[in-house]
Amino acid sequence: MHASLFAMRLLMRKDSRLSRMLHVLIHMDQLNAPATSEKIASMLNTNPVVVRRTMAGLRDKGYVTSVKGHGGGWSLATPLSNITLLDIHNALGESSVFTIGLSDEHTSCPIEIAVNQAISDVLIEAEALLLERFRDVTLDVLAVGFADYPLNQKEI
């Protein structure tokens, strides 16, 4: 019967989309033809519609293109060397990288203010470091040495 403030929390899952999409993009780089949503979905053991939803975000930022109809599918729009972890992280639209949140119930209570300020300072610093590191890594670096790894096998 309580007015739930806990219920206002953002629901989020441990999100492996970054890892998965990087994986897919690098494999795509080794293909000559576009990869269909269906093909990518089977790589990721998920659903083609989910793939389209996720890839749409990358397309909107210009990292991949989509083509309809026969012979269509998804292709890289730019070399892997032009894409950083940060680019894909941002394109996936994560609201926050942290599971830790702040209380916002008693915004006039000086204790809550002090507590939130202390936590927030730390989160901001840690996130800045994380994003900086993500910006330093381009996808071509991750692909080095694996240019010949086969795409169409079950393992992928």
Partner DNA sequence: TTTCATGTAACTTATGATGTTTCATAATGT
Partner DNA sequence: ACATTATGAAACATCATAAGTTACATGAAA
Note the residues at the interface with its own copies (CB under 8 A): 2-6, 9-16, 18-20, 22-23, 26-27, 41, 44-47, 50, 85, 89, 94, 96-106, 108-112, 114-116, 118-119, 121-123, 125-127, 129-130, 133-134, 137, 141-143, 145-146, 149, 155-156
CB proximity list for 41: less than 8 A, separation 6 or greater: 47, 48, 50, 51
**Separation of alpha carbons 153 and 141, rounded Å:** 23
Can you give the C-alpha Rg of the chain in angstroms?
20
- CB–CB of 66/55 below 8 Å? yes
Rounded least distance, CB 127 to its own copies, Å: 7
Query: For DNA, which is the closer residue by CB, 72 or 116?
Result: 72
- CB–CB of 91/61 below 8 Å? yes
Quick one: what does residue 53 bind among DNA, its own copies, none, with the CB cut-off 5 to 8 Å set by partner type? DNA
Q: Which of residues 52-111 bind DNA (CB under 7 A)?
A: 52-53, 55-56, 59, 66-74
Quick one: what does residue 63 bind among its own copies, DNA, none, with the CB cut-off 5 to 8 Å set by partner type? none
Rounded least distance, CB 88 to its own copies, Å: 10
**Tokens representing residue 6 in the block:** 């806990």
Query: For DNA, which is the closer residue by CB, 12 or 114?
Result: 12
3-state secondary structure of 74: strand
CB proximity list for 114: less than 8 A, separation 6 or greater: none
